[in-house]
Amino acid sequence: MGLLYEKCEGRTVANVKYLFQRVMNMNYKAMWEKISSIHKKTGRSRLAIFRDMKDCAVKYGAGYMDYDLFEMYNLTPEQRDTYLTRGRNNALVVKYNDKAYTGQFDDKVQFNTLFGKYLHRDWVPVTGDNREQVMAFLAAQVIPQVGYVGWDVCFTPNGPCLVEGNPFPGHDIYQLPVHTPDKIGIMPRFREIEAEEKMMNEE
């Protein structure tokens, strides 16, 4: 089994555990169905697609869904390296999100309490507590230990409202081919932000 390497701030990190988990839990039937679908679209042999898919998993952390969704079979190595794949997304989650605090995003009662002033809506947990007690509690916390979050926001006549936060953000929708006519993913932006953050910390 190959090793999946990811570069973070100049350091090379072997993300073996993640790759092993993905290999063990993979839906191989769905993967082969995806390979057959790509074969029909491209005319390339299934074996060649499988090998390329494997290479993308090792080099870029791309799962078979990433490979298909981002049409990585049509991308050059340089273009492929610009995409935020599932493996890279996981690496960002591990790097920036302290697991001891991510439960505060998964538990919606805790989340609504901590971020209540940003919700702009009433809510009541189904715990037996009365509404007055809950709404009287004013959250005065943020969670700096979780720095990589996918925020769900709705827009109202009175301004934007926070719905929820996800400490394992989606990485695919905004990188689909329809949104990337230049075939460039979002990784360059992430690398730029990390570089800026590193410079600020060094000052």
Q: What is the pLDDT at residue 165?
A: 83
Q: What is the pLDDT of residues 174-188, one digit of tens each?
A: 899 989 999 999 999
In angstroms, rounded to a whole number, what is the distance separating the alpha carbons of residues 58 and 83?
A: 14
- Whole-angstrom CA distances from 146 to 88, 166, 180 are 17, 10, 28
Q: What is the mean pLDDT of residues 24-48?
A: 92
Comparing 32-46, 55-69, 158-172, the range with the smallest average pLDDT is 158-172
Token representation of residue 64: 């078979």
- Residue 12, H or E segment: strand 11-14
Comparing 113-122, 154-163, 187-196, the range with the smallest average pLDDT is 154-163
